[in-house]
Structure 1
């Protein structure tokens, strides 16, 4: 039997985050939703998704994510994991940090 998987979309610092988790529940803290067991892709090869790496750096050590109910856009129960994303809240475009180019000032 396949484990339940949720796609959680929420607002954070002017951006829309899309993460995947195994458990979602009403939190012990009033007004918060608990997100547990975050799921990230494990890449053994050379190709790495920079957005997935950024999310893993930010949330990789998180045991429980307590999200305020007002910040949650939607929670979907899905069959399989898609690509995690960070989007600009105003435009909906993916936010990806470009690799630094040699000779170009930052």
Structure 2
């Protein structure tokens, strides 16, 4: 596991949008094919200036202690010096999701008896 002094920016695809969050812990899950993201960081902003995108993420992850993200949904993970603004953005033309089906087209699924 990573030390709590590290900060990671994790970009991943969720429901057709790109999520960018900041966390103190990122590591491979014991559950095959997942990455664990823990201790999400949201900026402390004054009550006067509120970023609606970050507030939406903060509300969505309010009671989450650990998030398991499928490995194929991860776009990138960066270690950064300080946290930025968490955000949700539209999936651009330059980002392609990993294929959901791992079987080549025309290959029938395996039938075990």
Aligned Cα root-mean-square deviation (Å): 1.5
Among 45, 48, 51, the alignment partner of 2:47 is: 45
| Alignment pair present for 1:35 and 2:42 | no
Among 60, 64, 67, the alignment partner of 2:66 is: 64
Write out the 4+ residue segments of structure 1 that deviate beyond 6 Å after TM superposition.
Answer: none
Among 3, 13, 16, the alignment partner of 2:15 is: 13
Displacement of 1:45: 2.8
- Judged with a 3 Å threshold, the aligned counterparts in structure 2 of structure 1 residues 91 and 53 are, in CA distance, closer, same or farther, namely farther
Rounded to whole Å, the distance in 2 between the matches of 1:41 and 1:60 is: 14
Aligned counterpart, 1:103: none
Greater Cα radius of gyration, structure 1 or 2: 2
Q: TM-score, normalised by structure 1?
A: 0.80
| Alignment pair present for 1:89 and 2:91 | yes
Rounded to whole Å, the distance in 2 between the matches of 1:91 and 1:42 is: 32
5+ residue gaps, structure 2: 95-113
Q: Is the 8 A contact 2:27 2:36 kept in 1?
A: yes
Displacement of 1:3: 1.1
Q: TM-score, normalised by structure 2?
A: 0.75
Q: Is the 8 A contact 2:42 2:85 kept in 1?
A: no
